[in-house]
A and B are shown apart, each in its own frame.
Chain A
């Protein structure tokens, strides 16, 4: 199941980043859509902006494209300040969520539109159109009209149209949103393949964390107009920087606790129900004698009846629900003091516990993660916030 995370390391890139944001802020009247973000995007990188609706990712993309101007800060494209350039003056191209194909033009005319605006020679235009259509596997469709194509085909034409301009950066605004699940998964692989072949940096906006984890070299998780965590899919999944990121990516159980002691090998925490637990890994900002949050993913939790397994963090739970989901079994567990934990156990490791039983929930110390807790007035729910879907498929 974890094979969906990109397992080939991103291309090492020598040289300057192709796109840089410095302190970019965007205000619409009184509303602050983007509250100051700075990052680089490297050449040949598949970079995703991930976050829930309203987090500012689309606004950021539009600023990169030139449809919005930053209220503060700069955008550097290939080293030059592009913050105030109009869209047609930038070396970027965008794939729109609604595809925005010109209905009165054929596929070929759509794809040729950009090169024609650049006043390229006719032969070069034809060559580029052919190459772009070939890259998206739509060679025979040149003379069709957009209304004659399926949603997936239209999406590929939109991509070909953008690629034909050979931009330095390709911007994609939730391009797979309108497709059904199966098609979406196919297209994810397609997009990744095309990006590799063409060698252009992609900036990809999505609210689907599974999609981002599958395709990206790096992900910027945004929330409320800021970037909460910028890192590779693995980093984000295994070592989330904030509680929001922990909850937004994958499925998570949150265990409020008190950090008792912290040393180079790990931390001692006391859970709300009184259990003492050891955690080997922690994030930034954790120190002793503070409120913390222990973050555990359901797929790392195991159940056992009888005696608690030695050498592992363990808490006593009562089984509330047991749901058979094919290759895994999902348990809903109630711990002391009203806490709820989820466990996702592979079928072959299933324990003989059922709803109503008392059991022990444990996990390897490596798989728990400690983050600074929220203030007491804001207890997070043990369920993931909206928008998060498990990469394992629930």
Chain B
């Protein structure tokens, strides 16, 4: 990687690395590590209307003992996991089709449409779904028009279902692309060889594709599952009371009720949770990748 020519050149290079790293590292420490540290600090501070007080564990204990928080956490977990499963159910076949069953000239085009879908403003997308799912929205109008129902379905909007629908459709591209990339790296001759040896589609899928796509799946999970937990725009706009998530709770605590201690504590817990998922996913992806090669 490094074409160091002479001793002098190599010495110069030893300085150059850290030099390049200096500015980015500084920025990260100041604006990323700093805030995380403050977050941790505040989570242990007593908050009252007067201002910050002394050290305390109260924030954490109040979260642990309060039933509402537990309920919110559970509903968050459910919503996120269901959404993730749906996205994998759509994303894996989509990635497969894109990687193996599309003519090259269409493949790039399809990939492009996937990427473009990511570009669109997520708030706009949430709002669009609100129109589709509402009482007078597209789905209800359609179902009424063809006579399936008499009254519009209320449960579509302002419920956890709505949140799941919105979230699943927002992150599909991010789910599909890593899996697609992993599949792309598989030699298609492997599949033909398996077929030649008499493997059915399911067997090929199970024994060849899934193991080799696994690193991509883990990357997709890291890329998508973690951000799902901190969603709060979608729940706020289409969730109603049923689709209330921990992101909303944090936002309320920090910005509205002034309970920054609890808000920080919740945030920090979420941070630890995200870190754990990321770590596990990363290790799984690495191990799989090494096994596959």
Interface residues of A (CB under 8 A from B): 66-67, 69, 84-87
The stretch from B5-13, B25-33, B107-115, B247-255 touching chain A is B5-13
B1 at the interface (CB under 8 A from A): no
Bound complex: CA A67 to CA B6 (Å): 7
Q: Which residues of A contact B7 (CB under 8 A)?
A: 69, 84
Complex CA–CA separation, A86 to B8 (angstroms): 9
Tell me the bound Cα distance from A6 to B7 in angstroms. 40
Interfacial chain B residues near A69, Cβ < 8 Å: 6-7
Contacts A69-B6, A69-B7, A86-B5 given; 10 further ones with Cβ under 8 A? A66-B5, A66-B6, A67-B3, A67-B5, A84-B6, A84-B7, A85-B6, A86-B6, A86-B9, A87-B5
- In the bound assembly, the distance between CA atoms of A121 and B111 in angstroms comes to 48
List 15 A-B pairs, Cβ < 8 Å.
A66-B5, A66-B6, A67-B3, A67-B5, A69-B6, A69-B7, A84-B6, A84-B7, A84-B8, A85-B6, A86-B5, A86-B6, A86-B8, A86-B9, A87-B5
Bound together, the chains give a CA A84 to CA B4 distance in angstroms of 12
Which residue of chain A is the closest to B5 with respect to CB atoms? Answer: A86
- Chain B residues closer than 8 Å to A86, beta-carbon distance: 5-6, 8-9
Cβ contacts under 8 Å, B6 to chain A? 66, 69, 84-86
Contacts of A66 in B (CB 8 A): 5-6
How far, in whole Å, are A347 and B9 apart by their CA atoms in the complex? 61
Taken together as a complex, chains A and B put the C-alpha atoms of A87 and B8 apart, in Å, by: 12
How many of chain B's residues touch chain A, expressed as a range?
Answer: under 10
- In the complex, what residue of chain A is closest to B9 when comparing beta carbons? A86
CA gap between A327 and B122 in the complex, in Å: 78
Docked pose: A69 CA to B7 CA in angstroms: 7
CB distance from B1 to the nearest CB of A (A): 14
How distant is B188 from chain A, measured CB to nearest CB, in Å? 24
Residue ID in chain A nearest B4 by CB atoms: A67
Cα A259 to Cα B71 with chains together (Å):
98
B144-185 vs A, CB cutoff 8 Å, 1 = contact: the mask equals 000000000000000000000000000000000000000000
Bound-state Cα–Cα, A324 to B233, Å: 83
| Smallest Cβ-Cβ distance to B3: which chain A residue | A67
Report chain B residues within 8 Å CB of A87: 5
Name the residue on B nearest A84 (C-beta). B6
**How many angstroms from the CA of A87 to the CA of B9 in the assembled complex?**
11
**For A67, what are the chain B residues with a Cβ–Cβ distance below 8 Å?**
3, 5
Chain B contacts for A85, CB-based, 8 A: 6
A25 CB → nearest B CB, Å: 15
* Whole-angstrom distance between the Cβ of A94 and the nearest chain B Cβ: 12
Measured CB to CB, the closest approach of chain A to B165, in angstroms, equals 46
- Taking CB atoms, residues of chain B closer than 8 Å to A84 are 6-8
Chain B, range 1-43, C-beta contacts under 8 Å to A = 3, 5-9
Chain A residues contacting B9 (CB-CB under 8 Å) are 86
- A83 to chain B: closest residue by CB: B6
Task: Give Cα A214–Cα B100 distance, bound, in whole angstroms.
Answer: 49
Q: Which residue of B lies closest to A88 (CB)?
A: B5
Give the residues in chain A near B8, CB-CB below 8 Å: 84, 86
- Provide the bound-state CA to CA distance between A85 and B7, in Å: 10
CA gap between A67 and B8 in the complex, in Å: 12
Could you tell me the distance between the alpha carbons of A109 and B144 in the complex, rounded to whole angstroms? Answer: 69
**B14 → chain A closest CB, angstroms:** 16
How far is A45 from B8 in the complex, measured between Cα atoms in Å? 32
Q: Which 8 A-B pairs have the closest CB atoms?
A: A86-B5, A86-B6, A87-B5, A69-B6, A84-B6, A66-B5, A69-B7, A86-B9
A52 to chain B, nearest CB (A): 26
Bound together, the chains give a CA A86 to CA B3 distance in angstroms of: 11
**A66 vs B3: C-alpha distance when bound (angstroms):** 11
User: Considering the chains assembled together, what is the distance between the CA atoms of A84 and B6 in angstroms?
Assistant: 6
Residues of chain B from 186 to 218 with CB closer than 8 A to chain A in the complex: none
Residues on A with C-beta less than 8 A from B5 are: 66-67, 86-87
In this complex, what residue of B is CB-closest to A90?
B5
- For the complex, give the distance between the alpha carbons of A85 and B3 in Å: 14
A84 to B10, CA, bound (A): 12
Tell me, in angstroms, the Cα distance from A66 to B7 when the chains sit together: 11
Residue of B nearest to A86 (CB): B5
Q: Which residues of A contact B3 (CB under 8 A)?
A: 67
In whole angstroms, what is the CA distance A305 to B263 when docked? 103
Within the complex, the shortest CB–CB distance from A178 to chain B, in Å, comes to 21
Distance in angstroms between the alpha carbons of A86 and B4 in the assembled complex: 9
A85 to B8, CA, bound (A): 9
Q: What's the least CB distance linking A46 to chain B, in Å?
A: 27
- Bound Cα distance A345, B9 (Å): 57
Complex CA gap A67/B7 in Å reads 10
Cα of A62 to Cα of B3 in the assembled complex, Å = 12
CA distance A88 to B7 in the complex (A): 14
Q: Give A173 Cβ to nearest chain B Cβ, in Å.
A: 14
Minimum Cβ distance to chain A for residue B11 (Å): 12
Q: How far is the CA of A67 from the CA of B5 in the complex (A)?
A: 5
Give the most central of B5, B7, B9: most A CB within 10 Å: B5
CB distance from A100 to the nearest CB of B (A): 11
CB distance from B101 to the nearest CB of A (A): 29
Instruction: Kindly report which residue of chain B lies nearest to residue A65, judged by CB atoms.
Output: B5
In Å, the complex CA distance between A66 and B8 comes to: 12
- Min CB–CB distance A284 → chain B (angstroms): 38
Closest beta carbon of chain B to A88's beta carbon, Å: 8
Over the window 239-251 of chain B, the binary record of Cβ atoms lying under 8 Å from chain A Cβ atoms (1 yes, 0 no) is 0000000000000
Closest chain A CB from B30 CB (angstroms)? 37
Q: How many angstroms between the C-alpha atoms of A123 and B93 in the bound complex?
A: 60
Q: In the bound complex, what is the Cα–Cα distance between A66 and B9 (angstroms)?
A: 11
A259 to chain B, nearest CB (A): 49
Q: Once the chains are docked, how many angstroms separate the CA of A85 from the CA of B9?
A: 10
Q: Give CA–CA (A84, B9) in the complex, Å.
A: 10
